[in-house]
């Protein structure tokens, strides 16, 4: 918790949530959890952060009557320090940056959003996305003046495995 408080002060909330788990990101003043479910939760009170040694993925707990605070349970400790994860070989092949980009592309995002989340330049993000797109791991879709990127089904299999 001390490490996270220091990260907030030095780098902001976006860095804290990304450090908690790759499926979490903070952009435009909102928390995004990369899940197969769609939905929005608005809370008017505080968000309680609950590190858990039992959680493998983040979970959000909210009171529909808004009488209690919303809580986010997340895996305690750094995700990349977990022993013998499937990400290690994949990360060695793709590289740390491209793996992190793929993990945050469960939801469609623009280059600017990804640059903010990962604290990289838009040019660097664009370079990596072009390589991922060429490999068939990312799909592009133009919406008006913006281009949105999203992880492909092949990338889902690489990240989550066939049995997931």
Last residue of a domain, one of 54, 81, 108: 81
Instruction: Please check whether residues 102 and 69 belong to one and the same domain.
Output: no
Instruction: Please check whether residues 94 and 152 belong to one and the same domain.
Output: yes
Instruction: Please check whether residues 76 and 118 belong to one and the same domain.
Output: no
What is residue 84's predicted lDDT score, i.e. its pLDDT?
35
- Count the domains in the chain: 2
Instruction: Please check whether residues 73 and 98 belong to one and the same domain.
Output: no
Q: Could you tell me the CA-to-CA distances from 29 to 14, 16, 18, 117 in Å, in that order?
A: 9, 13, 14, 12
What is residue 27's predicted lDDT score, i.e. its pLDDT?
64
Question: How many whole angstroms separate alpha carbon 128 and alpha carbon 110?
Answer: 13
C-alpha Rg value of the chain to the nearest Å: 16
Top pLDDT among 94 and 133 is at: 133
Top pLDDT among 89 and 164 is at: 89
pLDDT at residue 148 above 50? yes
Instruction: Tell me the per-residue pLDDT of 9-66, one tens digit each, with 9 for 90 and over.
Output: 777 777 777 777 777 777 666 777 777 666 666 665 677 888 888 877 888 787 777 7
CATH number, domain of 99, equals 1.10.10.10
Domain assignment of residue 66, given as a range:
2-81
């Amino acid at each position: 918790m001390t490490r996270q408080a220091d990260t907030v002060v030095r780098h902001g909330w976006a860095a804290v949530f990304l450090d908690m788990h790759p499926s979490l990101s903070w952009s435009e003043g909102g928390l995004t959890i990369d899940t197969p479910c769609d939905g929005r939760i608005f809370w008017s009170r505080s968000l309680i952060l609950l590190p858990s040694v039992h959680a493998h993925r983040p979970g959000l707990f909210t009171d529909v009557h808004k009488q209690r605070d919303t809580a986010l349970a997340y895996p305690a400790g750094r995700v990349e320090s977990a022993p013998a994860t499937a990400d290690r070989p994949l990360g060695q092949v793709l590289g740390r940056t491209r793996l992190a980009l793929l993990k945050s592309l469960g939801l469609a995002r623009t280059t600017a959003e990804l640059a903010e989340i990962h604290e990289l330049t838009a040019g660097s993000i664009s370079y990596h996305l072009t390589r991922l797109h060429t490999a068939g791991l990312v799909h592009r879709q133009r919406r008006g003046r913006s281009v949105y990127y999203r992880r492909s089904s092949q990338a889902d299999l690489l990240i989550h495995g066939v049995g997931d």
